[in-house]
Structure 1
């Protein structure tokens, strides 16, 4: 029985190494922001879901509201943030300009970014209002709007959980990691009795898998809150 478990763990190592980066491209576009600020409408559509190392498309549209006479855009900056290992906020891309139009940008998500992404647009512009007593121009400096956007699946953790379950018949939890460590210690204790080269190799493999799984689980598990 223990030899079978060893073979399963060996397979687990190779499957894990070869499958972590597999995944399908996600191309569905979803609206994440449709907001009116003085004189302006801001719309942001973007890829609904994606995977680490895959592309994301962001479509930004800035348009004048019909009730104002004129909008003069000085500058704007749309920053797209991801979260390093799902925890630490990190700038991924920028869209900048000074024209009211549609901007379409595609960029790649780094392989160590996952969970919900975040967008933040800051604008400085003038709005010309027309009234019964003439026109009035108002300056709006550094107007900022933030919003959540594309979800980047933590494919590493999901696949690690699946492989751990498929190969060892357990869910990847701290309790089961401890149980695996206990099984390793029991197997190591019977090394002299069993004495085969396969058992020695199996012990080394289990050691590697256990500490790799423990480290990955602690790094990859979903944080409670990260902004």
Structure 2
């Protein structure tokens, strides 16, 4: 695989890295609440500007982030002499200009704006749920949303999941699509690569003891003796058991 010339080979900024407490799937009592997590290679968390209120400058290049599959773009501000990290969009290259909280009309790749300043039909990512908060959704590689409709106070977004949601028009999003769109085609070559990522092996329920899983136990090899269920006895095949939560209506008139 060819090395991307935009990606740094040198170490990242030391002042923008800090320790991160990995829970390994356990709660505050030490009980496992998320299975198949733990181990993994040691890594430091990069401080990323997800609010996108003040980051602006020149793109120096892209960097690899061990905590996510999308690339990071390092931005240098010549006025303040400071660096910042943002989630890199596609088709960004060294030397591009990045602005935050921009009021320019049109599509500027990597520029962050409020939804009222983004053209209808534009692609967006790093969308915050409420005004002034960090970007929470549309941050995975290749993720993007689309603005379908806009009123004086709300904007209707078509999300990557296929759902449609209304957001406050003052929430901030970024123009473009998240980088590294081909990450979903990456294949792990050996079991050790999965362990490097912090993923532990998955064991079948029929291979467990009866105390560990409803499918466990029995003499010899058995098929469980019942329809497929979760370790807590809920059916896993057939109709969905999830109750769809109705999104609360906004308090403002559309």
The verdict on a shared fold, with TM-score over 0.5 as the criterion, is no
When you count helix as a share of all residues, which structure comes out higher? 1
Output the TM-score relative to the length of structure 1. 0.24
Output the TM-score relative to the length of structure 2. 0.22
When you count strand as a share of all residues, which structure comes out higher? 1
Higher relative contact order (CA 8 A, sep 6+): 1
